[in-house]
């Protein structure tokens, strides 16, 4: 599906809000369907969360800010995961060890 220009989308949103929403949903669905099969379930779940945030936001600006905060939180989580991967805070456990044999001491006090 071809992506309309920004001006076309803006004009449609102003003149035909219901048609705009139908087109928006179709474009999102097309994008999800073109992604790899292993990612589609996760993308549908993410889209569900985004739609829920839009419904409860009360205004388009509040929805924008909520979704932007959600994206920023996800970015910070990714950054933390990548930093942890580069320099883990705990050293890894050794996979082998050398066993030392100690002789029993012969003490005269026992």
Rounded to two decimals, the pTM is 0.66
Model pLDDT, residue 31 = 95
The pLDDT of 60-88, averaged and rounded, is: 90
The pLDDT of 21-27, averaged and rounded, is: 95
Burial 72-99, CB ≥16 within 10 A → b, else e? eeeeeeeeeeeeeeeeeeeeeeeeeeee
Model pLDDT, residue 90 = 62
Model pLDDT, residue 89 = 60
Model pLDDT, residue 109 = 57
Model pLDDT, residue 57 = 96
């Amino acid at each position: 599906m071809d992506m309309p220009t920004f001006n076309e989308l803006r004009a449609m949103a102003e003149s035909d809000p219901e048609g705009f929403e139908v087109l928006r949903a179709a474009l999102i669905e097309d994008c999800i369907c073109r992604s790899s099969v292993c990612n589609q379930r996760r993308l549908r779940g993410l889209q569900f969360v985004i739609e829920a945030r839009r419904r409860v936001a009360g205004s388009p600006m509040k929805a924008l800010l909520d979704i932007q905060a959600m994206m920023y939180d996800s970015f910070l989580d990714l950054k933390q995961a990548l930093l942890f991967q580069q320099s883990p805070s705990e050293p890894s456990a050794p996979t082998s060890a050398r066993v030392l044999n100690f002789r029993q001491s012969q003490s005269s006090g026992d």
